[in-house]
Amino acid sequence: MPYQSTVFEFQASGVPGELYSDYPVGCDAYVINSAGVTPNVFGYGCSIGTVQGQVQVGNPGGTHVFAGFLIMPKEQASFGTGGQPLAPTLAVPDGTVGDVLNLGMIWVVLPSAAAIGDLVLYDNVTGALTTVAPGSALPTGKSWANATVQIYPVTQTGLAVIRVTTVPVPPT
């Protein structure tokens, strides 16, 4: 095995869906039920479902109320993937009771370059996150996630910290 020749200056220290700091936290427990349409992935955006006490990942039709982000991956039992119980996954099955954060700072995966202050969006179908610069229009198929990139800007797919607020960002 060769010696290490590269040391990254900024190494991430979190898992998607984990709390970043002791910043004030607001969260609610919900039954996660995306009706098998998409995996329920930690750190993804969720909307309040049509059934009391349930949320789904994403925002079907773009008409549901934003609930928050699925958090606390280390508190959930992992059922693995593909029939392999020890296969690593950041998803939980439908019917799982999970915490959904609507105020606080959490680790998330962003799929492309993002600067501090960029607005966070979530995909209406999958709940996956993206970002846009402040003042940008809402892209088709996305919903505002009441969050901004707060720490660790990314130049490609990578971990960042977002700050989630209880008021819409940007105001709608």
pLDDT digits (tens, 9 = 90+) for 105-141: 999 999 999 999 999 999 999 999 999 999 999 999 9
What pLDDT was estimated at residue 112?
Answer: 92
pLDDT less than 70: residues of the chain: 1-12, 167-172
What pLDDT was estimated at residue 129?
Answer: 96
What pLDDT was estimated at residue 172?
Answer: 47
Question: In whole angstroms, how far apart are CA 5 and each of 2, 52, 166?
Answer: 8, 54, 44
The chain-wide mean pLDDT, for the chain, equals: 87
What pLDDT was estimated at residue 9?
Answer: 62
Amino acid at 14: G
Phi and psi, residue 20, nearest 5°: -90, -40
What pLDDT was estimated at residue 153?
Answer: 83
Q: CB-based burial of residue 2 (10 Å sphere; 0-12 exposed, 13-18 middle, 19+ buried)?
A: exposed
What is the three-class DSSP state of 73? helix
Q: Distance (Å, rounded) from C-alpha 169 to C-alpha 145? A: 7
- pTM, two decimals, is 0.86
The token pair at 25 is: 């936290």
Domains in the chain, ordered, with CATH? 26-164 (2.40.300.10)
